[in-house]
C-alpha cells in the first residue's frame, strides 16, 4: 500500500449520551445557525496562528507556502460547503482529542447546563464549552474533516453524522491538503442558502472580518479565489476607525460569548515598553467565573504572532476580562515556559491591570447605571483583589459597591458611606453572613439602627476574608458589628427612641451573673449589651477573636481546629429579661433551663443550630409545661 492510499476507517463512539447532547445543542442552544461559520473560521484562524508561532523555531514547517490563508469553497451542485486552512493541522491523536471529545469538563454536567438554558438564554452558552465545531451539525447532516499536520506525510480523515459516533482513518494524501485542515459540510436541504456567495460574504464580514488571517472565497470548484477579508488585525487599527459593531464582533469571537461587552479598553502603550491592549469586560457572567483554578482569558501576541492564551496578564480577580495584548518588545522566540518569568511581561501586567481598573473607575463616574451592572455581575470576584492585591487595595475600595442598612435596593460606595458618618463615629461598620435577607434581620444591628448608623451588609464568602485584613478607607478602619464591644455610647440615639429611657432593674445584673455561672465553658462571657434594642439576646465574637462568619467558614473547610467561645450579650431593658430576672432562688431548675434556652435562641438568631437539639427540646418542653394552665 502506498502513502497516497486511504486505509479503512475505524469507527468510534463519542462519550456517553453525546447523541442526546448534540441533539440538544443543535435544537436548543444555538438560536442563530449562521454562527457555525464563525466558529469554523475561528478554529482555522487559530490553526494558522499556531503555525506562525511554531515556525519561528522551525521555519521548515512553512515549506513553500508561508502565507496563512482561509478558503471557503462553494459546491452548490453537490450541496457542500468547504472551509480549508493551511495552518498547523492535526495528528490522528489530536483529531480524536479535539473532535471526539465534547465538553471535557464532564458530559453530564454540560448537558444539565444546556437543558437549564432552554427558554431563550441558550445563545449565551455558545462557545463557552469548547463545542463550537459541533455547531456545524445545525446545517450539515454529515461533516468530513481531513487534516495533515505541518511536517507530516500522513493525512487523517474524520467523519461523523453527529448522531453519536464517528469514524477516523488515514486519508488519501493525493487529495488531502498539503498542510492544514479541510472541513467539508454536506449541507441539509434547508441549508442551501450557505452555498450562495452573498450569504457567506455577509456572514464573514459581520462576524469574522477581524480575524488576523486573510479569507478568500471560491464560488465553485476550479474558480479563482477572491479575497473577502484582508486579515488586518483589528487591535492594530486606531480606535477612531473602529465601529462599536466591529468591537462587539471581535469581543464575541475572542470571548466565545454572544452578549454585548459592558466595557471596551483599547490602548497602545509607548515609551519604555510598547504594546497594544484590546480588552473587554463582558456584559454577562462567563460560566467559568468561579472556576477553582481561576485562570485568566487574555491572549498574548508578539508582533501579531499568537504566543499563548495562558500568560497571566491580569491578576486572578480580573479573570472575567477577555481580550489580548500584542507586544512589540518580547522576542518572537520566547518560550511559553519563560513568559511567566519575563520582567517585561511583569511590566505589561502592571500597566494593563492599572488601565483596566482606571477604565472601570471612569465608567463608575460617567455612567453609574452601567457600572452598577458590572458590579452586580463581577463584584464578588473584584473583591478578591481586596484580599490579594495590597498594592491596588485603595483603588479597589473606590470601585467597591455595597448594600447597606441605608441603601434600600440600591448600592452605596465607601465615599457615600464616609460622607454619612454620624457624630463621633470613627469606624466603618459591617456585618458578614450568607445572604442579605438574614443580614438585614441580624439582632446585632439593632443598636446601630437606633442611632442611624449605616452598616455594610456583606453576603459573599470573600467578604469575611478581606475585612479581616488591616484595612481602612480614608483613615476609617472597618469594624464588625458582631465582634467585641459595640462602643456606641458616644453616638446619640435618634430622637423618639423611647427604649433609651428605660432603666434596667438592679435584679438584671444579678441575673446576668447567674447566667454566666450556669453556662460556664459554653461562652467566654455574658454581659449587658449596648447593641440590642429589640431582641433579648445575641452572640458576638471577642474583641481579639475572629469574626464569627469567618470562623464558621474556616471550620467548615477544616482549617480551624477549635472555635473561640462566643460572648452572650443580654438586653437588660428587654421585657423578657426583666421578667426572668425576677425568678426566685427556689426556681433554680427553671433558671438553668432558661440560661441554656437563651444561649440557644442567640445561636438560632445567628444562623446556627442549638448545640444539643435533644437537650434544647427537653428544656423547651419543661418551660412550656410550667406556663400551661
90 is in an annotated binding site: yes
Q: Euclidean distance between the first and final Cα of the chain, in Å?
A: 102
Helix (H, G, I), strand (E, B), or coil: what is residue 215?
A: strand
In 126-217, where does DSSP find H-type helix? 197-203
| Joined grid coordinates for residue 130 | 469548547
Q: Which distant-in-sequence residues (6+ apart) come within 8 Å of 124 by Cβ?
A: 117, 257, 258, 259, 284
| Alpha-carbon span 381 to 314, nearest angstrom | 13
158, 67 in Cβ contact below 8 A? no
Q: Strand 140-148 relative to strand 80-85: parallel, antiparallel, unpaired?
A: unpaired
106 is in an annotated binding site: yes
The DSSP code for 163 is S
| Alpha-carbon span 373 to 262, nearest angstrom | 8
89 is in an annotated binding site: no
280, 255 in Cβ contact below 8 A? yes
Per-residue CA distances from 152 to 2, 183, 211, 395 (Å): 15, 19, 26, 53
518 is in an annotated binding site: no
| Alpha-carbon span 225 to 316, nearest angstrom | 44
Helix (H, G, I), strand (E, B), or coil: what is residue 428?
A: strand
33, 190 in Cβ contact below 8 A? no
How long, in residues, is the chain?
629
CA proximity to 211, closest of 82, 320, 52 = 52
| Alpha-carbon span 592 to 595, nearest angstrom | 5
User: Where does residue 328 rank: exposed (0-12), middle (13-18), buried (19+ CB within 10 A)?
Assistant: middle
The DSSP code for 468 is T
Q: Which residue(s) pair with 170 in the sheet?
A: 156
| Alpha-carbon span 14 to 23, nearest angstrom | 13
85 is in an annotated binding site: yes
181 is in an annotated binding site: yes
What is the DSSP secondary-structure string of 243-278?
Answer: -HHHHHHHHHHHHT--S--SEEEEEEE-SSS-EEEE
132 is in an annotated binding site: yes
For residue 429, the tally of other CB atoms under 10 A from its CB is 22
The DSSP code for 122 is G
For residue 609, the tally of other CB atoms under 10 A from its CB is 10
Per-residue CA distances from 256 to 207, 212, 234, 286, 307 (Å): 12, 17, 17, 9, 19
| Joined grid coordinates for residue 256 | 466565545
| Alpha-carbon span 351 to 413, nearest angstrom | 25
For residue 54, the tally of other CB atoms under 10 A from its CB is 16
Which residue has cell 455581575? 377
141, 47 in Cβ contact below 8 A? no
283 is in an annotated binding site: no
| Alpha-carbon span 505 to 578, nearest angstrom | 7
| Alpha-carbon span 40 to 140, nearest angstrom | 13
Q: Binding site: which residues?
A: 39, 43, 85, 90, 105-106, 128-133, 181, 336
Q: Binding site for ATP: which residues?
A: 39, 43, 85, 90, 105-106, 128-133, 181, 336
Amino acid at each position: 500500500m502506498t502513502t497516497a492510499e486511504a486505509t479503512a476507517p475505524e469507527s468510534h463512539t463519542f462519550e456517553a449520551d453525546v447523541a442526546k447532547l448534540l441533539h440538544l445543542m443543535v435544537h436548543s442552544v444555538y438560536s442563530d445557525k449562521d454562527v457555525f461559520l464563525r466558529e469554523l473560521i475561528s478554529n482555522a484562524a487559530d490553526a494558522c496562528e499556531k503555525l506562525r508561532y511554531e515556525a519561528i523555531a522551525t521555519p521548515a514547517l512553512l515549506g513553500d507556502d508561508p502565507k496563512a490563508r482561509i478558503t471557503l469553497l462553494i459546491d452548490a451542485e453537490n450541496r457542500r460547503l468547504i472551509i480549508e486552512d493551511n495552518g498547523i493541522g492535526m495528528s490522528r491523536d489530536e483529531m480524536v482529542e479535539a473532535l471526539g471529545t465534547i465538553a471535557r469538563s464532564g458530559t453530564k454536567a454540560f448537558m444539565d447546563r444546556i437543558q437549564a438554558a432552554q427558554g431563550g438564554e441558550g445563545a449565551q452558552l455558545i462557545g463557552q464549552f469548547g463545542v463550537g465545531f459541533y455547531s456545524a451539525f445545525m446545517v450539515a447532516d454529515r461533516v468530513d474533516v481531513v487534516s495533515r499536520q505541518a511536517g507530516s506525510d500522513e493525512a487523517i480523515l474524520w467523519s461523523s453524522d453527529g448522531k453519536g459516533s464517528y469514524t477516523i482513518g488515514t486519508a488519501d494524501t493525493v487529495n488531502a491538503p498539503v498542510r492544514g485542515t479541510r472541513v467539508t459540510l454536506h449541507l441539509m436541504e434547508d441549508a442551501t442558502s450557505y452555498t450562495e456567495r452573498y450569504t457567506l460574504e455577509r456572514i464573514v464580514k459581520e462576524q469574522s472580518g477581524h480575524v488576523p488571517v486573510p479569507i478568500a472565497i471560491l464560488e465553485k470548484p476550479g474558480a479563482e479565489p477572491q479575497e473577502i477579508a484582508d486579515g488586518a488585525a483589528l487591535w492594530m487599527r486606531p480606535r477612531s476607525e473602529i465601529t462599536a459593531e466591529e468591537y462587539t464582533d471581535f469581543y464575541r469571537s475572542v470571548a466565545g460569548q454572544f452578549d454585548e461587552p459592558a466595557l471596551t479598553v483599547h490602548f497602545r502603550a509607548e515609551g519604555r515598553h510598547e504594546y497594544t491592549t484590546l480588552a473587554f469586560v463582558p456584559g454577562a457572567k462567563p460560566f467559568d467565573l468561579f472556576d477553582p483554578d481561576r485562570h485568566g482569558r487574555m491572549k498574548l501576541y508578539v508582533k501579531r504572532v499568537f504566543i499563548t492564551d495562558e500568560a497571566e496578564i491580569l491578576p486572578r480577580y480580573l479573570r472575567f476580562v477577555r481580550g489580548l495584548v500584542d507586544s512589540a518588545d518580547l522576542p518572537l522566540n520566547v518560550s511559553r515556559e519563560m513568559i511567566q518569568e519575563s520582567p517585561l511581561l511583569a511590566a505589561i501586567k502592571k500597566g494593563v491591570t492599572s488601565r483596566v481598573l482606571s477604565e472601570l473607575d471612569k465608567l463608575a463616574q460617567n455612567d453609574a447605571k452601567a457600572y452598577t451592572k458590572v458590579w452586580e455581575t463581577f463584584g464578588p470576584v473584584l473583591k478578591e483583589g481586596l484580599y490579594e492585591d495590597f498594592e491596588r487595595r485603595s483603588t479597589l475600595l473606590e470601585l467597591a459597591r455595597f448594600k447597606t442598612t441605608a441603601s434600600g435596593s440600591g448600592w452605596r460606595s465607601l465615599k457615600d458611606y464616609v460622607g454619612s458618618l454620624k457624630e463621633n463615629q470613627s469606624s466603618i461598620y459591617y456585618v458578614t453572613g450568607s445572604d442579605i435577607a438574614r443580614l438585614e434581620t441580624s439582632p446585632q444591628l439593632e443598636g446601630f439602627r437606633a442611632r442611624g448608623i449605616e452598616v455594610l451588609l456583606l453576603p459573599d464568602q470573600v467578604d469575611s476574608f478581606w475585612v479581616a485584613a488591616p484595612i481602612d478607607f480614608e483613615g476609617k478602619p472597618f469594624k464588625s458589628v458582631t465582634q467585641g464591644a459595640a462602643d456606641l455610647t458616644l453616638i446619640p440615639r435618634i430622637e423618639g427612641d423611647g427604649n433609651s429611657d428605660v432603666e434596667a432593674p438592679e435584679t438584671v445584673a444579678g441575673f446576668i451573673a447567674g447566667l454566666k455561672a450556669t453556662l460556664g465553658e459554653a461562652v467566654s462571657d455574658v454581659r449587658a449589651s449596648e447593641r440590642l434594642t429589640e431582641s433579648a439576646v445575641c452572640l458576638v465574637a471577642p474583641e481579639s477573636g475572629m469574626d464569627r462568619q469567618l470562623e464558621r467558614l474556616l471550620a467548615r473547610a477544616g482549617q480551624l481546629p477549635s472555635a473561640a467561645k462566643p460572648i452572650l450579650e443580654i438586653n437588660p431593658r428587654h421585657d423578657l429579661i426583666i421578667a426572668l430576672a425576677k425568678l426566685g432562688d427556689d426556681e433554680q431548675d427553671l433558671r438553668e433551663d432558661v440560661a441554656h434556652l437563651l444561649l440557644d435562641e442567640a445561636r438560632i438568631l445567628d444562623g446556627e443550630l442549638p448545640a444539643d437539639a435533644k437537650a434544647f427540646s427537653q428544656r423547651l418542653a419543661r418551660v412550656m409545661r410550667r406556663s400551661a394552665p
